[in-house]
Amino acid sequence: MRGSLQRPARSGIRLSSKPRPAAAEKGCASSALRQAPHQKIVEESPSTAVSEGLRARICAAAVAAGLAAGYRNAGTVEFLVEGTGDAARFYFLEMNTRLQVEHTVTEAVTGVDLVRAQFAVAAGGSLPWQQDSLTQRGHAIECRIYAEDPASDFVPQAGVLAVYREPSGPGIRIDSGVSEGIAVGVHYDPLLAKLIVYAESREAATARAIAALREYPILGIRTNIPFLLRLLAHPRFTDGGLHTGFLDDHMESLIAPAGPTPEALAAAAAAAPHADAMPASAPTSTPDPWANLSGWGR
């Protein structure tokens, strides 16, 4: 189906139901971008591809699917959206009978704890909220931090995290399973952490995500953080023109090495007055620090 649709967007609805539901409770529509091995790398809520009218139709379909299946507890119903505005068409893709990795963006814009609700319902209790009490405020973006090399077709990386420092601050959340000094192996998924940011608007959330990624140093292995920075700064991401072929369409510009950072330019400017004092035979440094690691993290 996906191949026959014209640049569809992917949208997911978080769904929770009571042990004996008269109705299912629905969450907020979110959208996602996926990279080469078909793993999601960026998710956001609300979805840029879903208008208010379309959101009501999609949520109604998600609730109907849950009720028809007699589903209990938390899950995510995913759709492909074709077109724009309230008249856009959408098609059922799948239902994941669990909370997905990107449930955090729904939590951020609704202020509810979906994991707590999942445990409560599984224990035979009721949901901690009613549908009428759910409201959506602001915008949330989740970036998945992977140990992989985007320039080499996203090949997973292995090695020791020589430096691993998580950013912090208002509107920043990190869900991670690693710490500085541990070895990242080859036997598990390369996902290191999730960076979730929340702000009053999509523009502010994007700026916050970029700032947080710039304060997320990881050394010892390659990660997709530079790729994420180029993605969030891309004009087509900024204007919300996202679809399932977005990364394929813009991969060349996203993979291309980024220009020097402001910090690097400042360091170069500071070193410039001393350039004349350096021996003529002084070795020139390579622009890629990874080339000097003698296979470390390759």
Is the N-terminal amide bond of 156 cis, ω within 30° of 0?
no
Type of residue numbered 116: R
Known active-site residue 34: no
Q: What is the largest CA-CA distance in the chain?
A: 80
For residue 122, the surrounding DSSP H or E stretch is: helix 114-122
**Exactly one of 98, 116, 137, 165 is catalytic; which is it?**
98
Taken in order 99, 102, 104, 110, the sign of the CA dihedral is: negative
How far, in Å, CA of 239 to CA of 245, rounded?
16
Is the N-terminal amide bond of 170 cis, ω within 30° of 0?
no
Q: Which two tokens stand for residue 65?
A: 């699917």
Closest CA to 102 of 124, 80, 78, 119: 78
How far, in Å, CA of 11 to CA of 39, rounded?
15
How far, in Å, CA of 39 to CA of 158, rounded?
18
Q: Which residues pair with 148 in a beta bridge?
A: 156
How far, in Å, CA of 48 to CA of 105, rounded?
14
Q: Which two tokens stand for residue 156?
A: 């997973």
Q: Which two tokens stand for residue 140?
A: 């949330």
Q: Which two tokens stand for residue 192?
A: 């290191």
- Catalytic positions, please? 98
